Amino acid sequence: MPVPFRRLIPPAAALLALAPVGAWAQTLNFYGVTGLVDMPSAEMQPDGELSANIGWFGPTLRNTLTFQITPRLQGSFRYSGVDGLAIGGFGPNDVYYDRSFDLRFRLLDEGRYMPAVTIGLQDFIGTGQFSGEYIVATKSLTPRVKVTGGVGWGRLGSYESFGSTGTRPPPDTGRGGKPNTGQWFRGPAALFGGVEWQVNDRLGLKVEYSSDAYDLEERQGIFKHRSPLNFGAEYQLTDSVRLGAYYLYGSELGLAAHIALNPRNRPTKGVTGPAARAVVPRPDRRADPDAWSPEWTAQQGAPAILRSNLEKRLAEDGLAVEALAVSGTRAELWLRNPRYDAGAQAIGRAARALTAVMPASVEVFEIVPVVDGMPLSKVRLRRSDIEALEHAPANAAGLRARAEIVDNPRRPAGAQNGTGTYPALSWSISPYSRLSYFDPDAPVRGDLGLRFAGRVDIAPGLVLSGAITQKVAGNLDKYSRVSDSVLPHVRTDGYLYDREDTQLEKLTLAWYSRPGTNLYGRVTAGYLERMFGGVSAELLWKPVDSRLALGAEVNYARQRDFDQRFGFQNYSVVTGHVSAYYAFDNGFHGQVDVGRYLAGDWGATVALDREFANGWRVGAFATLTDVSFNDFGEGSFDKGIRVTIPLNWAIGTPTRAQSTAVLRPVQRDGGARLAVDGRLYETVREYHTQGLDAQWGRVWR
């Protein structure tokens, strides 16, 4: 029997909460890209916007996640189902599922007389069943009326074509997942176009002439194409949600919902919480010269008293003293920040606490952020600058211009540890969710439960941590397809791990260190993840002020028993990578990993993420190894999209918690990498120059 469409819930919808993004000047089409009804337009969404589209008409349901990568470049991932389409092993009584990617690039901006012009690739990676290419132009005639015209190939060139640009190869119904470059801009070409009228701030009307003949669906009798004209009415329900109703191809009614999130716009309009305390200015030196005398350093117990007073002030902001060293003119604070997602905000609050506690003779504050016992940098501030700039215009930029950020791998002599710093126990009980996407029998499956996590900081850099999960509800254990992988089953047996309701998720002992200037080290041993245990060692070279970082990791991993207790299976492997990281402009971060993966295959992973100042991240990755596309299986090679949303963006209160979702078209054994917590680059970079500068605007908050 066909799978009901209600089971095609889009994975993207699970990531999205409604948030204001402003009026939608650029609307989306049924494919989830900027366009009319079924055809694209030349416009782009606002830079950085993430949108989800759910569209249904006739036998087709499309779920699309679209990200405006740059002002000119837009990318989309789509998961579609066509009821009754018999193709690629699906019978006429099945729902045919298809995963596809789109890319669009705006060649020309709209001018006074010139239209915007965009070139696009639809379904350019995969089987190519719905592939099409186009060049399209859009011009605004008035602030509320736009016209669009373009030429399309593939599906977009199938109705009333006016010519051809060579022979278009047939779609690949095999493994899929490969760029179908042989089809691009090949075959018959046809014209399409339309008009969009924004009647008022809520209502929009669309009419278009489509160049898609829906030949495949017509041949199989599941769709009637009676007219190339499509009509639509859309209503802006909220600033984030636009709903549409349509009449398509003279035969079908359609419905769509478009949901948009812009990382720059918080639902709560900002992060709330206790206001920062004011800077405490020192008395005038001429009026009270004794207050400026460094003789206080000779008083017995003075450093301990200062540390205690500072701990009380920092505790009000959710911060903690790792260590403190003071002299007559200088204070070096090693700072823990378990609360604020912006390191610069934590440093700003620590600096103000120091103005309230330190004697007047202390002019230089050196604040050293510490994570997992590692000092990551030193931010050197002059107290007189803090006092002078607190209420000055552009005070954040002024303070940054006078601040120094340098490396600091060694603890100063005579530093006193914070009270109760080591050993220290922390624990939590929190809900968890584990999701699985794109199984044809159930496109979205998942488990919900509780996670019991604990951590003991035994000594500086030595951390014992673990987590146990207890399933409360879910259906991940209902997966019934036996893996057909010819590689070692390092991931495709994952459903066997989901059968246990109580799981030892991880239990590790980790040692973090600073071997030298610009160097960071990690060794982790134990039950590293749900499927593997072993030992992992990593070394990272990352100068404080450098955009470039280089790393190396080596692991011995052994596969865990399916019951996720303490036993192991026979499979083991030595795996590892050398890595290069680079921080580009505009929040882009690139990463290349070259080495050996869990199945013993050799290859490389390339990843590119865009990070926003509030912690949002959207990125994509792809892995190619010496495993052939046929041996890899469905999808041909590993690839995916990942989205990280900081919790404080949604709730508006300070927290470092965040949620990350990884959308893979398919999870196979090739290109699988060990999942180890605490990898160094993500741990380190937040408190280096690039990371602090990105969030320095919050230093006074």
Residues 210, 73: one domain? Answer: yes
pLDDT of the residue at 136: 98
Q: Residue 330: beta bridge partners?
A: 364
d(CA 243, CA 188): 34
d(CA 75, CA 178): 16
Q: Are 558 and 598 in contact (CB under 8 A)?
A: no
Q: Is the dihedral of CA 628, 632, 636, 642 positive or negative?
A: negative
Residue ranges of alpha helices (H) inside 202-264 are 215-219
User: 368 exposed, middle or buried (CB, 10 Å; 0-12, 13-18, 19+)?
Assistant: buried
The token pair at 445 is 């499956």
Q: Which of 399, 420, 441 is the last residue of a domain?
A: 420
Q: Are 336 and 319 in contact (CB under 8 A)?
A: yes
Q: What is the DSSP letter of 315?
A: H
d(CA 484, CA 683): 37
Q: Residue 452: beta bridge partners?
A: 429, 468
Q: Residue 468: beta bridge partners?
A: 452, 504
Q: Is the peptide bond before 179 cis (omega within 30 degrees of 0)?
A: no
pLDDT of the residue at 614: 79
Residues 301, 248: one domain? Answer: no
If residue 371 lies in a helix (H) or strand (E), which one and from where to where?
A: strand 364-371
Q: Which of 368, 399, 420 is the last residue of a domain?
A: 420
The token pair at 77 is 């991932």
pLDDT of the residue at 302: 86
The token pair at 550 is 């280089």
pLDDT of the residue at 301: 81
Give domain status of residue 412, yes or no: yes
d(CA 219, CA 502): 50
Q: Are 465 and 508 in contact (CB under 8 A)?
A: yes
Give domain status of residue 166, yes or no: yes
Q: Are 153 and 135 in contact (CB under 8 A)?
A: no
pLDDT of the residue at 583: 95
If residue 106 lies in a helix (H) or strand (E), which one and from where to where?
A: strand 95-108
The token pair at 79 is 């998961």
Give domain status of residue 462, yes or no: no
Give domain status of residue 269, yes or no: no
Give domain status of residue 552, yes or no: yes
Q: Residue 247: beta bridge partners?
A: 231, 253
Q: Residue 245: beta bridge partners?
A: 233, 255
Packing angle, helices 343-357 and 302-316, rounded to 10? 130
pLDDT of the residue at 21: 34
The token pair at 268 is 């709560």
Buried b (16+ CB within 10 A) or exposed e, 631-646: bbbbbbbbbbbbbbbb
Residues 227, 297: one domain? Answer: no
Q: What is the CATH number of the domain that holds 416?
A: 3.30.300
pLDDT of the residue at 73: 96
Of 565, 631, 563, the C-alpha closest to 599 is 631
Residues 215, 97: one domain? Answer: yes
Residues 166, 234: one domain? Answer: yes
User: 308 exposed, middle or buried (CB, 10 Å; 0-12, 13-18, 19+)?
Assistant: middle
Residues 226, 293: one domain? Answer: no
The token pair at 425 is 């126990």
If residue 343 lies in a helix (H) or strand (E), which one and from where to where?
A: helix 343-357
Residues 162, 212: one domain? Answer: yes
Give domain status of residue 277, yes or no: no
d(CA 678, CA 523): 10
Residues 12, 96: one domain? Answer: yes
DSSP-derived 3-state class of residue 81:
strand
Q: Residue 574: beta bridge partners?
A: 556
Range of the domain at 295: 289-420
Q: Are 66 and 50 in contact (CB under 8 A)?
A: yes
The token pair at 395 is 């005070």
Residues 232, 313: one domain? Answer: no
Residues 202, 305: one domain? Answer: no
DSSP-derived 3-state class of residue 75:
strand
Q: Which of 213, 242, 261 is the last residue of a domain?
A: 261
Give domain status of residue 443, yes or no: no
Ranges of the chain with pLDDT below 50: 1-24
Q: Are 644 and 332 in contact (CB under 8 A)?
A: no
User: For the chain, how far is it from start to end, CA to CA, in angstroms?
Assistant: 58
Q: Are 21 and 45 in contact (CB under 8 A)?
A: no
* Strands (DSSP E) found in 584-657: 588-596, 602-611, 617-625, 638-646
d(CA 593, CA 607): 9
Q: Is the dihedral of CA 286, 288, 290, 293 positive or negative?
A: negative
Whole-model pTM: value is 0.89
Q: Are 51 and 69 in contact (CB under 8 A)?
A: no
Residues 235, 298: one domain? Answer: no
- Report the domain count for the chain: 3
pLDDT tens digits along 117-138: 999 999 988 777 889 999 999 9
d(CA 280, CA 88): 72
Q: Residue 569: beta bridge partners?
A: none
Q: What is the CATH number of the domain that holds 99?
A: 2.40.160.40
Give domain status of residue 495, yes or no: no
Residues 231, 301: one domain? Answer: no
If residue 383 lies in a helix (H) or strand (E), which one and from where to where?
A: helix 383-389
d(CA 507, CA 503): 11
Structure-token match 């003279």, residue found: 250
Q: Is the dihedral of CA 161, 162, 163, 165 positive or negative?
A: negative
